[in-house]
Chains A and B, each alone.
Chain A
Amino acid sequence: MIFGRHSVLKRGCSTWDKQAMPQEEFQARLDAVRREMARQNLDALVIYGDNYSFADLCYLTNYFPKVRGGIGVVPCDGPISLLLNIGSRDVPFAKSLTWVEDVRASGQVGRDGAELLKEKGLAQAKVGLVDSGKGFPLPQLEEMKGSLPQIEWIHSHLLIQQMRLQKSARELAALRGAGRVLNEICDGARDFIKQGRKEYEIIADIDRLARDKGVEDIRILAGEKRLQPPGSKMSAKLGTHWAVYLAIQHDRYWVETGRTHILSGDAKLQTAYQKAQEIVAKMATQLKPGRPVATIDETARKQLGEFYAIASIYGLGNGVGLSQWEPPFLSEDEARQVGSPSVGAAVLNENMTVALRVTFETEGKLILFGDSFQVTAKGPVSLLG
């Protein structure tokens, strides 16, 4: 699986486009979640989210934490509440990003979360805990559970994640919007990637381009022989070869891509890069409704041959959406790497969105190509346009 360096603060453009993603979209999601809660006899859900993993919380509320985390409390009826680890003066801004009216600040989400559940009459209830990103800090969870000894806690980590698998029309529009922006960043990045420049200077240029286009967050990994995150130790000057992984979060949705910049005109490397693109294209041909997810990995294995083992190290792909890594996962191993108990979906369905990538080494250089796709009845459609 591919991981970038996590931002200490989601500090990109933070707005809510209510025309593109109106409240009725969230109401429909909430209704669906409550139907599933009723089916499972749950009195409430507690949904944890933080700036690292916000998908489930955001799916229902549109809110994504900028730093630290928080919980959403969803009773089977009545208003839902957000309890966020922010200062009280930050509440008005938080409310500008969500339709939820009851937004509360807390420095102790575990303690105050317990009080909130008591206030809602849920101290003896059957409560589903949703933490698919595995981020709920241990001391806070212990405090919340310890203060509510009569609650029956149910692991409901997959309840919302399953609903997120197939994207709605509005979600697909958001994903295509993110893809367009990412495509522009990729195009613009070519101008910055020049031999002799310091790697972190190039990354500064790409980062600026992305931020000027209004991204909420960005992940960059780059290198000649391996991918690595930007850092003050990344002061090497660029040679003739650079592989770049880029992922952006735009209007809450993640898309990713991978490109290799061969500045030498080396024919062998150009051929290898062409091969990587062809393999991704062949993997993408499997992105049709009804196809087993496993066929993507099988195609990659067949196409990559001896390079399969190296390509697997960075992962061959995964679902993308409100999370950078979400179902469908291409294998149990890839699911496990992000703490997911299963691949999430054995069969592809229309309007799932999947990132695919191929990495391998040749001539001592890393070759990377990747793209993000929508599964349609007619086959794959690149989200990058």
Chain B
Amino acid sequence: MNGQQEFENRIAKVRQAIRDKGLQTLLVFDSGRHNFLRMNYVAYLTDFIGVGPEAVLVLPLDNDPVLYLSPEWDIDRAQEESWVKNVQPFENFWNLLSKGVGKAGLIGREAMHVDLHDEIVKALNQAPVNAKDIIENIARRKSGFELERLRQAAIIADAGVQALHEEAHVGLKEFELAAIVEYRMRFLGAEDNFGMVVASNHNQALHPPTDRVVQSGDIIIGEITPCIGGLFVQICRTMVLGQPAPVVHEKYAILKKAMGLGMDAAKTGAPASDVAAAINGTLCDAGYEKYCRPPFMRVRGHGLGCGSSAPGNLEDGNQTKLEEGMTFIIHPNQYIPETGYMTLGDTVVMTQLKAEPMTRTSWDIFVKE
């Protein structure tokens, strides 16, 4: 399926949902802050990631969609990159509203400032209905088109880990380690990266890098998340510079076991909490129950999306059923008092029966002499 067909499919589904909700127009907003932690619904429906503070896609039931955008100088790029061809300056959005758009739904309140919302309410003479579930429901299963992008991102994620394995050495600063990964992935076309790489002989948690100088015996942990076409794939791995103490191997084996059992628990139709239970169970059996709860750990993975973060967090109580086509990260990352924090995780895609990893890097701890 090409991009235009994909877009037309999405628009057709959204229009049906608009009808079902008794709406006449859908307003989809984004504030130029693309992030898998907060969905970019405009990108989902247009394939365009804006940079300015305002992007509103107006989707009437019967007429063609229009993308209203700031800054004005980015309109040419939007017309080239977006599936929506009618792109206009954001100022024109107010003219449209003044003419009336019927009963309106709004998606993207999470990214919207109260002042803009108030102006829209005033212009519409009505509070638009929060219609975010329209896209969340449509986007929860990734299409073949999306999976193709995600596979490309997965190859880049593996390459990022590979770069770290090849180039990490004693004497580098943490931020230089992170730059190694970033560079390899950007060189392969990654648009962005939710990435953290840090090193210590006893890591407390993942965090953005500092200027700490890497020492022999350091455990390097990474959470690496390249973005392609607005979609993210995450991978978490651990490596050691120099021969690690036996306890590191011993405790890392618990993470590997938890990862395997977490993967096994990710069955199509099973609740997301099953994955968390399998991982937490493994760590509890190993004597680390206390460390499976805040302030140490909480979730065992999460959705990765552009239009939907389904199935949400892999944690106790999440009864969301895993569906074919969902993609999410399973990561039994764990603070262990004897070793510090270690990381292991793969993005998976749900197939007809079970989860399959999208990334290929070995789960083994990587030791670099």
Q: Is B213 interfacial (CB 8 A cutoff)?
A: no
- Say if the beta carbon of A297 comes within 8 Å of chain B: no
A313 contacts B by Cβ under 8 Å: yes
Minimum CB–CB distance from B46 to chain A (whole Å) comes to 13
Q: Let me know if B294 and A89 touch, CB within 8 A.
A: yes
B169-201 CB contact bits vs A (8 Å, 1 = yes)?
000011110110011001101111111100000
* Interfacial chain A residues near B211, Cβ < 8 Å: 13, 15, 214
Q: Are B33 and A52 in contact (CB under 8 A)?
A: yes
Contact assessment for B32 and A8 in the assembled complex, using a CB-CB cutoff below 8 Å: no
Q: A267 contacts the other chain (Cβ, under 8 Å)?
A: no
B44 to chain A, nearest CB (A): 16
Query: Most B CB atoms within 10 A — which of A2, A5, A226, A235?
Result: A5
Q: Does B320 contact A (CB under 8 A)?
A: no
Q: Scan residues 289-335 of chain B and give those whose CB is less than 8 A from a CB of chain A.
A: 294-298, 335
Any chain A CB within 8 A of the CB of B117? yes
Q: Is the CB of B207 within 8 A of A93?
A: yes
Chain A residues in 8 Å Cβ range of B192: 5, 7-8
Scan B140-179; emit 1 where CB is below 8 A from any A CB, else 0. 0000000000000000000000000000000001111011
Query: At the interface, yes or no: B60 with Cβ under 8 Å from chain A?
Result: no
With CB as the reference atom, state the residue of chain A lying closest to B110: A137
Contact A313 B73 (CB under 8 A): yes
The verdict on B124 contacting chain A, using a C-beta distance below 8 Å, is no
The smallest C-beta distance from A330 to any residue of chain B, in angstroms, reads 15
Say which one of A204-212, A272-280, A284-292 lies at the interface with B: A204-212
- B242: CB under 8 A from chain A? no
B293 → A minimal CB distance (Å): 10
Residues of B within 8 A of A231 (CB): 49, 81, 191
* Chain A proximity of B368: nearest CB distance (Å): 20
Q: Which of A5, A7, A13, A230 contacts B175 (CB 8 A)?
A: A13
For A68, what are the chain B residues with a Cβ–Cβ distance below 8 Å? 37-38
Contacts A9-B194, A88-B295; A138 near B110 (Cβ below 8 A): yes
**B357 adjacent to chain A (CB < 8 Å):** no
Chain B nearest CB from A230 CB (Å) reads 6
B window 229-245: CB within 8 A of A: 229, 232
Determine whether A21 belongs to the interface, using a CB cutoff of 8 Å to chain B. no
Which of chain B's residues has its CB closest to A66's CB?
Answer: B208
A5 / chain B contacts, CB cutoff of 8 Å: 34, 49, 51, 191-192
- Decide if B115 is an interface residue (CB 8 Å cutoff): yes
In this complex, the member of B116, B176, B192 whose beta carbon has the largest number of chain A beta carbons within 10 angstroms is B192
> With contacts A203-B186, A232-B189 known, is A6 near B32, CB below 8 A?
yes
Q: Mark B62-99, 1 if CB is under 8 A from A, else 0.
A: 00000000111110110001000000000000000000
Min CB–CB distance A302 → chain B (angstroms): 23
**Which among B74, B77, B209 is the interface contact of A14 at CB below 8 angstroms?**
B209
Q: Is B36 an interface residue (CB 8 A)?
A: yes
Shortest Cβ distance from B341 into A: residue: A89
Q: Which residue of B lies closest to A5 (CB)?
A: B51
Taken together as a complex, chains A and B put the C-alpha atoms of A14 and B210 apart, in Å, by 5
Contacts A5-B34, A93-B204, A228-B77 known; A134 to B53 CB distance under 8 Å?
Answer: yes
Contacts of B111 in A (CB 8 A): 137
Shortest CB distance A13–B (Å): 4
Chain A residues near B38: list those with CB within 8 A. Answer: 68
Q: Are B183 and A204 in contact (CB under 8 A)?
A: yes
B35 at the interface (CB under 8 A from A): yes
Decide yes or no: A11 and B196 within 8 Å by CB, A67-B37, A88-B294 being known contacts: yes
Q: How far is the CA of A88 from the CA of B297 in the complex (A)?
A: 8
Does B23 touch A at the CB level, under 8 Å?
no
Interface residue tally on B, bucketed by range: 35 or more
Q: Does A20 touch B at the CB level, under 8 Å?
A: no
Q: Is B358 an interface residue (CB 8 A)?
A: no
B341 to chain A, nearest CB (A): 8
Interface check A172, CB cutoff 8 A: no
Asked if A232 contacts B191 (CB within 8 A), the reply is: yes
Q: Which of A195-234 contact B (CB under 8 A)?
A: 200-201, 203-205, 207-208, 211-212, 214, 226-233
**A125 interface contact, C-beta 8 A:** no
Query: B77 contacts A89, CB within 8 Å?
Result: no
Q: Are the CB atoms of B189 and A200 closer together than 8 Å? A: yes
With A and B bound together, what is the CA distance between A201 and B185 in angstroms?
A: 10
The A-contacting residues of B in range 18-41, CB under 8 angstroms, are: 31-38
Q: Does chain B have a CB within 8 A of A337? A: yes
Q: Which of B73, B175, B204 has a CB less than 8 Å from the CB of A89?
A: B204
Interface string of B107-140 (1 = CB under 8 A from A): 0011111111100000000000000000000000
Q: Which of A1, A9, A235 has the most CB of B within 10 A?
A: A9
A227 to B77, CA, bound (A): 9
Decide if A11 touches B110 in the complex (CB within 8 Å): no
- The reply to whether A9 and B193 contact each other, CB–CB distance below 8 Å, is yes
Q: Does B228 contact A (CB under 8 A)?
A: yes
A337 contacts across to B, CB distance below 8 A: 52-53, 70-71
- Asked whether A338 lies within 8 Å of B191 as measured between CB atoms, the reply is no
* A136–B113 CB distance below 8 A: yes
Q: Which residue of the partner chain A has the closest CB to B229? A: A232
Whether, in the assembled complex, A120 has its beta carbon less than 8 Å from a beta carbon of chain B, the answer is no
Known: A15-B211, A211-B175. A139 touches B73 (CB 8 A): no
Verify B208–A11 contact, CB threshold 8 A.
yes
Within 1-50 of A, Cβ neighbours of B (below 8 Å) are at 1-15
Please tell me if the beta carbons of B193 and A233 are within 8 angstroms of each other in the complex. no
Give me 8 A-to-B residue pairs in the complex whose CB atoms sit less than 8 angstroms apart, sorted by A's number.
A6-B51, A8-B194, A11-B209, A12-B178, A229-B51, A232-B190, A313-B71, A338-B53
Given contacts A200-B189, A232-B228, 16 further A-B contacts (CB under 8 A): A4-B51, A5-B49, A5-B51, A8-B232, A13-B208, A88-B295, A89-B295, A93-B204, A93-B205, A201-B187, A230-B191, A231-B81, A233-B81, A314-B73, A337-B52, A337-B70
Q: Which residues of B contact A (CB under 8 A)?
A: 31-38, 49, 51-53, 70-74, 76-77, 81, 109-117, 173-176, 178-179, 182-183, 186-187, 189-196, 204-205, 207-211, 225, 227-229, 232, 294-298, 335
Residues of A within 8 A of B (CB): 1-15, 52, 66-68, 87-93, 96, 105, 131, 134-139, 141-142, 200-201, 203-205, 207-208, 211-212, 214, 226-233, 235, 313-314, 337-339
Closest 10 pairs between A and B when the two form their complex, measured CB to CB:
A204-B186, A88-B295, A211-B179, A13-B175, A93-B207, A208-B183, A134-B113, A204-B187, A3-B51, A14-B208
